[in-house]
């Protein structure tokens, strides 16, 4: 087993934590980082009776195959049918069975452990280490938490791409979870730069006009109500056609996965792909282990080009052959979104880039391109108010729908966008203040007059009111409001100046700074200075605190 440098570092960090007395440690690494390789290495290093827990029954075979690929024989706690199917998959994939009913390493699903706890009563205390993939599911009071408590003498290792939960619960033992410490060293962006993952492009496809996600409530788990979301998706007559059309436009002939909302929707998408001459299969949680394995193999060898699924390949599945992911399952869960896009970024022979086609605007949640999000503490629960934008520094190309940084005025895919400003025009106001929002000269002049009025002396305002015959109380109130608005404007101007200075220091031009400000705060810089006093004060706070961009 050959570790990459960051894998060795993460491995060593976990062992140091255990040696220091930590009983339950979480390892955070992005999709494609090789988590099963690290799991296998830690199992070999500790060499103690271990149980690897699948958080869903249908993933038992995936974990078993991953361990087998790393040379680890193991037993499988499950039905005779499950054991036979997994052994068959071992033979099909590796030409050898790694199942051993007497092995000290066991694989089981969380549901099987809970269901068979009484029958396993003698074995459970002999286990010295439990490992659970996708450990962001584990809370003390849920079934995953209850399952790991079955092992009274074991240390625990949780592995996940993100510790974040949409319901806001914390995974720390001091909050709602079970983990005492965690390690996070690399992000998806780091691995792309290192050459261990494939770069990806995101296309923000305009949402179908008949999809109305505002009508879908957020459930207690922090994600959208499944029943209502299904209704909204099933009612759309445009979504399925868009998925097939944009695949043909963006990635015709490439292998891909489509994440559908529900079984009915998924089957329809697969049928439409086939009708359009794109070989496709549909699979979900009811599809058998061997059938799912064979479908993945058909995708790898090119027999099919699209594998449509419902909540099946978002977690715990390694399919490096795919170049393309279509997001058709709306979610408010950042972990689920990150896992789904991660399916496309694994290295594969001949793959130079991956394409993400976002039909439901999940990319508003952001991408795991940097470290720093991980925490064992509680977070604010996702709601309609907070289910908004992490990616305020990206814009969609109106020509090809490629999503790219706003400071890149030209789309890197099709070349569309705002053209370069001729040198002899760069001093014209419509090319400076109005660069992003394309204000015409009359609008610019109007804004200048409003700004100039706010900056005028308060006594001048009072004199105009006196001349107009206003009452003293009205004059005094207007004067006071004018001074307050002046002060708010000056505070905002100072905050913008500091913010812009940072952007210029990072290499952005004046035009690029103004574009970023607009996308970050929703106002161009001139309009911002004409807001009410309270609005400018609020905006000043946002700008000063840098709450706009998650770079």
* pLDDT over threshold 90, residue 77: yes
* Rounded average pLDDT over 126-150: 95
Q: Which residues contact 450 (CB under 8 A, 6 or more apart)?
A: 530
Closest CA to 159 of 127, 190, 191, 137: 137
Does 418 fall in a domain?
no
427: number of CA atoms within 13 Å, CB side? 1
In a domain, 411, yes or no: no
Query: Is residue 274 included in any domain, yes or no?
Result: yes
Using an 8 Å Cβ cutoff, are 322 and 247 in contact?
no
pTM, two decimal places: 0.69
Whether residue 429 is found in the same domain as residue 292: no
| Statement to judge: residues 150 and 299 lie in one domain | no
Task: Report the share of the chain in percent with pLDDT over 70.
Answer: 86
Is residue 300's pLDDT more than 70? yes
For residue 423, is pLDDT > 50? Answer: no
- Do 168 and 242 belong together in one domain? no
**Phi, psi torsion values for 54, nearest 5 degrees:** -90, 135
Using alpha carbons, select from 52, 291, 247, 19 the residue that is nearest to residue 151.
Answer: 52
Q: Distance between CA atoms of 413 and 405, rounded to whole angstroms?
A: 12
Structural domain contains residue 117: yes
User: Domain boundary residue among 126, 154, 186?
Assistant: 186
pLDDT band at 510 (very low <50, low <70, confident <90, very high): low
Residue ending a domain, among 147, 171, 186, is 186
pLDDT of residue 58: 74
- Asked, for residue 414, whether it belongs to a domain, the answer is no
Q: What is the pLDDT of residues 334-375, one digit of tens each?
A: 888 888 988 899 998 889 999 999 999 888 787 777 777 789
* E runs forming strands in 215-293: 256-259, 280-283
Which whole number is the average pLDDT over 387-410?
56
Asked, for residue 32, whether it belongs to a domain, the answer is yes
* The pLDDT of residue 407 is above 60: no
**Is a pLDDT exceeding 50 seen at residue 68?**
yes
Residues 336 and 455 in one domain: no
Do 251 and 355 meet the contact criterion of CB atoms below 8 Å apart? yes
Spatial neighbors of 206 by CB under 8 A, at least 6 apart, are 401
Residues 484 and 510 occupy one common structural domain:
yes
**Residue 439 reports pLDDT greater than 50:** no
pLDDT of residue 350: 87
Rounded CA Rg of the chain: 28
CA angle 29, 396, 327 (to 5 degrees): 50
Q: Is there a single domain that holds both residue 438 and residue 458?
A: yes
Same-domain status, 444 and 536: yes
Evaluate if residue 389 carries a pLDDT over 50.
no
pLDDT band at 403 (very low <50, low <70, confident <90, very high): low
Residues 433 and 449 in one domain: yes
Q: Is 474 helix (H, G, I), strand (E, B) or coil?
A: helix
Largest CA distance in the chain: 99
More confident residue, 96 or 59: 96
Helices of type H across 280-333: 289-300
* 179 is a domain residue: yes
Is residue 117 domain-shared with residue 214, that is, in the same domain? no
User: Which phi-psi region, left, alpha or beta, contains residue 279 (left: φ > 0; alpha: ψ -120 to 50)?
Assistant: beta
46 lies in which domain range? 5-186
Residues 500 and 551: beta-carbon distance below 8 Å: no
Q: What is the mean pLDDT of residues 311-329?
A: 83
The reply to whether 148 and 242 lie within a common domain is no
CATH of the domain at 65: 3.40.50.300
Q: Tell me, yes or no, whether 103 and 207 share the same domain.
A: no
What is the mean pLDDT of the segment spanning 442-451?
A: 66
Task: Give a yes or no: residue 392 inside a domain.
Answer: no
Domain boundary among 155, 186, 217: 186
Q: Are residues 170 and 249 in the same domain?
A: no
The count of domains in the chain is 3
- What does DSSP assign to residue 380? P
């Amino acid at each position: 087993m050959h570790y990459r440098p960051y894998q060795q570092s993460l491995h060593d960090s976990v062992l140091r934590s255990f040696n220091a007395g930590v009983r339950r440690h979480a390892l955070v690494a992005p999709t494609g980082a090789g988590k099963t390789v690290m799991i296998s290495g830690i199992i070999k290093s500790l060499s103690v009776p271990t149980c690897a827990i699948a958080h869903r029954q249908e993933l038992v075979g995936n974990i078993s195959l991953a361990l087998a690929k790393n040379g680890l024989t193991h037993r499988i706690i499950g039905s005779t049918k499950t054991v036979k199917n997994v052994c068959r998959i071992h033979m099909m994939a590796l030409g050898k069975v790694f199942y051993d009913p007497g092995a000290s390493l066991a694989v089981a699903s969380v549901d099987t452990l809970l269901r068979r706890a009484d029958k396993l009563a003698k074995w459970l205390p002999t286990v010295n280490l439990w490992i659970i993939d996708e450990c962001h599911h584990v809370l003390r009071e849920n079934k995953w938490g209850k399952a790991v408590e079955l092992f009274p003498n074991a240390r625990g290792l949780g592995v996940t791409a993100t510790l974040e939960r949409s319901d806001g619960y914390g995974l720390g033992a001091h909050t709602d979870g079970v983990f005492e410490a965690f390690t996070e060293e690399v992000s998806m962006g780091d691995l792309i730069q290192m050459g261990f993952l494939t770069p990806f492009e995101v296309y923000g496809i305009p949402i179908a006009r008949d999809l109305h996600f505002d009508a879908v409530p957020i459930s207690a788990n922090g994600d959208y109500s499944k029943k209502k979301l299904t209704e909204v998706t099933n009612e759309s007559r445009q979504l399925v056609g868009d998925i097939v059309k944009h695949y043909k436009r963006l990635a015709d002939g490439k292998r891909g996965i489509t994440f559908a909302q529900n079984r009915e929707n998924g089957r329809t998408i697969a049928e439409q792909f086939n009708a359009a001459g794109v070989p496709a299969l549909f699979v979900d949680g009811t599809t058998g282990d061997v059938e799912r394995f064979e479908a993945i193999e058909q995708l790898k060898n090119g027999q099919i080009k699209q594998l449509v699924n419902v909540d099946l390949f978002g977690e715990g599945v390694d399919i490096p052959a795919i170049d393309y992911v279509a997001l058709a399952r709306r979610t408010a869960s950042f972990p689920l979104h990150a896992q789904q896009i991660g399916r496309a970024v694994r290295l594969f022979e001949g793959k130079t880039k991956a394409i993400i086609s976002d039909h439901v605007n999940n990319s508003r949640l952001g991408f795991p391109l940097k470290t720093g999000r991980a925490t064992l503490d509680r977070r604010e629960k996702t709601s309609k108010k907070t289910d908004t934008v992490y990616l305020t520094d990206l814009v969609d190309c109106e020509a090809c729908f490629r999503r790219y940084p706003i400071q890149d005025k030209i789309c890197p895919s099709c070349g569309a966008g705002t053209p370069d400003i001729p040198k002899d025009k760069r001093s014209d106001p419509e090319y400076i203040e109005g660069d992003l929002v394309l204000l015409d000269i009359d609008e610019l002049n109007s804004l200048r007059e409003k700004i100039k009025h706010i900056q005028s002396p308060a006594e001048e305002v009072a004199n105009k009111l006196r001349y107009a015959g206003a009452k003293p109380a009205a004059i005094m109130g207007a004067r006071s409001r004018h001074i307050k608005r002046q002060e708010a404007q000056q505070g905002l101007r100072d905050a913008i100046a500091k913010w812009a200075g940072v952007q210029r220091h990072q290499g952005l031009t004046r035009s690029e700074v103004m574009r970023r400000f607009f996308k970050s705060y929703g106002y161009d810089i001139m309009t911002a200075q004409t807001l009410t006093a309270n609005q400018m004060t609020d905006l000043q706070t946002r700008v000063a605190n840098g709450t706009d961009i998650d770079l």
